[in-house]
Every structure is written in structure tokens, then in C-alpha cells.
Amino acid sequence: MNAFVSLRDIVKTYTRGKQAVEVLHRLNLDIPQGDFVALMGPSGSGKTTVLNLIGGLDRPSSGEVTVAGERLDRLSGSGLARWRAHNIGFVFQFYNLMPMLSAERNVELPLLLTSLNKEQRQKNVRTALAVVGLQDRARHKPSELSGGQAQRVAIARALVSDPTLLVCDEPTGDLDRATADEILHLLQLLNREHGKTIVMVTHDQKAADFATHTLHLDKGQLVEASVAAAA
């Protein structure tokens, strides 16, 4: 069975001044559909670069990136944008919410890139907010929400187009332990009961323990893979 996410012989090089820095070194990685993977490693190991390649936010210098049967490295810029809009949900450490918009308007933003009409968009927004338990905060702005509520809004925004894959970059890095665990339990629920494939970058071993697998990167290479005891 083909992997849902497949990276083959990935090299990623950035130019800093006159110096070429190779961040990923012929990396190979397979993630099955329905998995919840925690990606760990020291700063500069290439974790966020891998996440950006999987999410279609960046391209490899060489190698193949295949997600949900699509070769991302072959898509045009506009084709990649359309693919992201329908297949990927992004969750970031600092939420990236628009401060002047209500929770429901923030959640609706990805749908503005689709062909859905207003009624369909509103239905999807209500459903996404219900999944994260924030129906009663729909008209609140980010400044009126706690950190945990703001991250739930961000997760609802990631879910609103019903993507097959969630990519999460330190989703609990700005939260206290109790609130972080609430968010991680929510991600577990989305994985187990809603079938979302999740790839999460984290420095926090307690966060990684919520995943089904933990992958370790060091100096641009996969150095360890282990099955985690899911919390």
C-alpha cells in the first residue's frame, strides 16, 4: 500500500549570503494515512522544513514529495495553492488569527479561496466550531479568548475545508501544560474519530507522547523512529 505522505531522496538547500546550507540530506520518509506523527529534533535539524514541504509551503531542491497521491514538487505555484486549499489544514504556535475578525470570520477565511457560497461557508464554519467546542465563542474576537480557545479557533480554521492532512508547527508551544494537554487531546480525537492524518513538530516529549509515532531528525536526516504510547 502506498504511503499517504512520501518523501524520496529529499535535498533542501538554502543560500545564506554566498554560502549554501544543506538543511535536508537525501531524506526518505513515509507516513501512512490516518497516522499521528510527532516530529522531533534539535533546533536546525530540519523539522519545520519537512513540515513546510509536506504542507506545500516550500519545494525541495531535489527529490520527490508526494501527498495524497499528488506530486507536489511538480505542481505550479497556482496549482499548489489550489491543492493546499483543499487538502491541508495548518495549525501554528501563535495561532495566526486576524485580530479584528471574530472567531467565525477567522475560521471562514480558508473557504474564501473555494467556490462555496455564503450559506455553505457558514454551515462549514458552524460545524468546525462545534467540533472544537467553541460554538458559544463564534462572535468573540481573539483578544476576548484565552490562549487555549484561540488555538481551538485556529484548529477549527484548519478543519473548515475538511482537509485530509493537518500539519501542526509547535501547536502547544505557547500554552501552559493543562491547556496544552486539552489541545493535544483534541488532536487525538481528530485523528482517532475523524480520521485526520496529523504531522506535528514539537520540542515537548509530553506532547509527542500523544502521537502514535515519533520521528527524530538530526542534521537533516531521520535518525530514529519509534512507536509512542498514546496518552
Q: Going residue by residue through the chain, which has 231 residues, state the pLDDT in tens, using 9 for 90 and above.
A: 578 999 999 999 988 888 888 899 999 999 999 999 999 998 888 899 999 999 999 999 999 999 999 999 999 988 998 888 889 999 988 888 999 999 999 999 988 878 889 999 999 999 999 999 999 999 999 999 999 999 999 999 999 989 999 999 999 888 889 999 999 999 999 999 999 999 999 999 999 999 999 999 998 888 865 444 444
Are 98 and 86 spatial neighbours (Cβ–Cβ below 8 Å)?
A: no
Q: b/e map of 155-178 (b: 16 or more CB within 10 Å)? A: bbbbbbbebbbbbbbbbbeebeee
Across-strand partners of 200? Answer: 38, 168
> The domain 34-60+75-227 belongs to what CATH superfamily?
P-loop containing nucleotide triphosphate hydrolases (3.40.50.300)
Burial of residue 194 (CB within 10 Å: 0-12, 13-18, 19+) is exposed
Are 94 and 109 spatial neighbours (Cβ–Cβ below 8 Å)?
A: no
Please state whether the predicted TM-score (pTM) of the whole model is above 0.85: yes
102: helix, strand or coil: coil
